[in-house]
Structure 1
Amino acid sequence: MSVPVGDALRKVASRLGVVSDQPEQEARWLVEIALGCAAAGLLRRGDQPLPAAAAQWLDERVERRLAGLPLPYCLGTWSFYGLEMAVNPAVLIPRPDTESLVELALGHLPREGARRVLDLGTGSGAVALAVARARPEAEMWAVERSPEALAVAQGNGQRLGLAVHWLAGDWFAPLPPGLRFDLILANPPYLAADDPHLPALRHEPQEALLAGPTGLECLAAIATAAPGHLVPGGVLGLEHGAEQGEAVRALLRAAGFAQPRTHRDLAGRERVTSGSLPA
């Protein structure tokens, strides 16, 4: 027997109270998606019966949430830099920390004039698509080695109507010979195997998180190879852990980048380090 939407909303919020510190908000988001409506529409439907298909979808998502699956994976979408991104366990959940990488990119890209930009390890495509929307004249390229993640990124690009050259492969390997960029961005794996944050991230793709024994392996590989793919004066921007700023600046200096700088995220933590090649 069907229940009114309002009653279903209250029931979902009550169930989520054991795993969430904002169960009412999570319940609203889930019910809105189940019904395919916005918040205003949800209020109007409070006394209407919840359709059977919506009730089944909702029950499945609540069970997954109670099992510990992060909310964005239960919803199937998550907001990043004003874009609604489709997400699933094949990709990392886009986080506000990574918006610092987008801000760095936009600071180096004029609003007019073509520039070529590369996003390495694009995952859901969040960074590449945020830059593509803000700088539509830029020629955007993105590389991802996971076929499942690349499919998510391509789907996001198609749904948002944003043009990106998507390539499958490991870092710089799939790029056409001789292609050079004005700006290279990357949010690579940067956690060490014993990082204390890993248990809380167990539902996210481990290959997108774990770099190796030190956590610097992927950052070092990108920094070393990037000069061969940048134009003179080109910029490399790397997201990294809050305690890795000094080490990443050293990597960039060793690779020939001039005066590397580390930029802080909204919480004041060192999050993105950039450097430019001599012109």
Structure 2
Amino acid sequence: MVSRREARLALRQQLRKGGLESPDFESACLLEHVLGASCRLMTRQQLEEPLTGEQAAALHALTRRRLAGEPLQYLLGEWEFYGLPFRVGPGVLIPRQDTETLVECALRAAEGMSAPKILDLCAGSGCIGIALAHCLPHGRVTAVEQSADALRYLQENAALNRTPLHIVKGDVLDPALAESIRGVDVIVSNPPYLTEADLAALQKEVQFEPRAALDGGQDGLLFYRELPALWQESLNPGGRLLFEIGMGQEAAVSSFLTHAGYENIESFPDLAGISRVVSGMRPAGARR
């Protein structure tokens, strides 16, 4: 029988040989997932306890799937974003730390509002909208998502985090949908923004994520071209539209916002110093 300590050492070696970048971290995550307990909190004696046959089989299956490229987050079934847990799996985009920049920017945009109305377009797992609803308990967040698979996770995550969220199934490029939603103070969106070239060169792990959540058209800018004008009437005068963007897209997205009539265009970097968010304000003098 293999002990928990020995199992982790062997797993770490397998992951390292498989070319994974963080074998220490991932081996701990997978073993803890199988054990249902944190190895860091175990005593030396507990670490020497043997794996059960069921645990060994489960760990072997997870290791095989990870070495085949399946994302760690999918194997664990849950991932943290903005300090909150989110269920993830096939059919939904994995929340990424870079996207926390969009949450921070949206919170600043909502400062001073007693009951802000926020709209999350291309909501996916709901990580952005749920994080905002959690931080703004007196606000009202509406999340729009088209994918049936992603909607299931969105609903589960809203329940998991006990955040009241108004969920709408729909296509964010549908003019009728845009016309049906009005009186919004802040719109946030992390739309698909990979180019055709990006999609052709995806890392193995990312290939497991839904293509529809990644594909931004030939140049990656499809949604940025369409959404600013399409959803401008949904914003109250003085309200802001905030986009997460990919590397090198700042100038193009800023120009789309300017062309659509937005003012006070701003961009914000992520923790790595890369421009990650571009936002624009609907003119305060605009008619509602």
| TM-score bucket (shorter structure) | over 0.9
In structure 2, C-alpha distance between the alignment counterparts of 1:213 and 1:151, rounded to whole Å:
29
In structure 2, C-alpha distance between the alignment counterparts of 1:220 and 1:43, rounded to whole Å:
56
What are the superposed Cα offsets for residues 245-269 of structure 1, whole Å, 9 maximum, x if unpaired? 0111110011111121111111111
Map 1:95-244 to 2 at 5 A.
Answer: 95-110=96-111, 113-171=114-172, 173=174, 174=177, 177-195=180-198, 198-200=201-203, 201-244=206-249
Q: Residue 166 of structure 1 aligns to a residue in which SS?
A: strand
CA RMSD of aligned residues (A): 1.8
The equivalent residue for 2:10 is 11
Map 1:87-98 to 2 at 5 A.
Answer: 87-98=88-99
In structure 2, C-alpha distance between the alignment counterparts of 1:4 and 1:176, rounded to whole Å:
61
The amino acid of 1:132's aligned partner reads A
Report the alpha carbon displacement of residue 101 of structure 1 after superposing the two structures with TM.
0.5
What are the superposed Cα offsets for residues 60-81 of structure 1, whole Å, 9 maximum, x if unpaired? 1111110012221222222211
Q: In 2 relative to 1, CA 138–176 (structure 1 residues): closer, same or farther, beyond 3 Å?
A: farther
Q: In 2 relative to 1, CA 40–231 (structure 1 residues): closer, same or farther, beyond 3 Å?
A: same
The equivalent residue for 2:252 is 247
The amino acid of 1:91's aligned partner reads V
Q: Which runs of 5+ in 2 are unaligned?
A: none
Taking structure 1 as the reference length, the TM-score comes to 0.93
% identical aligned pairs = 37
Report the alpha carbon displacement of residue 180 of structure 1 after superposing the two structures with TM.
2.3
In structure 1, C-alpha distance between the alignment counterparts of 2:61 and 2:151, rounded to whole Å:
26
Q: Residue 51 of structure 2 aligns to a residue in which SS?
A: coil
Q: In 2 relative to 1, CA 22–191 (structure 1 residues): closer, same or farther, beyond 3 Å?
A: closer
In structure 2, C-alpha distance between the alignment counterparts of 1:111 and 1:137, rounded to whole Å:
12
Structure 1 counterpart of 2:263, from 254, 258, 261: 258
Q: In 2 relative to 1, CA 195–178 (structure 1 residues): closer, same or farther, beyond 3 Å?
A: closer
Q: Residue 91 of structure 1 aligns to a residue in which SS?
A: coil
The equivalent residue for 1:270 is 275
1:31 touches 1:58 (CA, 8 Å); kept in 2?
yes
Q: Residue 229 of structure 2 aligns to a residue in which SS?
A: helix
Q: Residue 194 of structure 1 aligns to a residue in which SS?
A: helix
Q: In 2 relative to 1, CA 264–167 (structure 1 residues): closer, same or farther, beyond 3 Å?
A: same
Q: Which of 230-239 and 38-47 deviates more?
A: 38-47
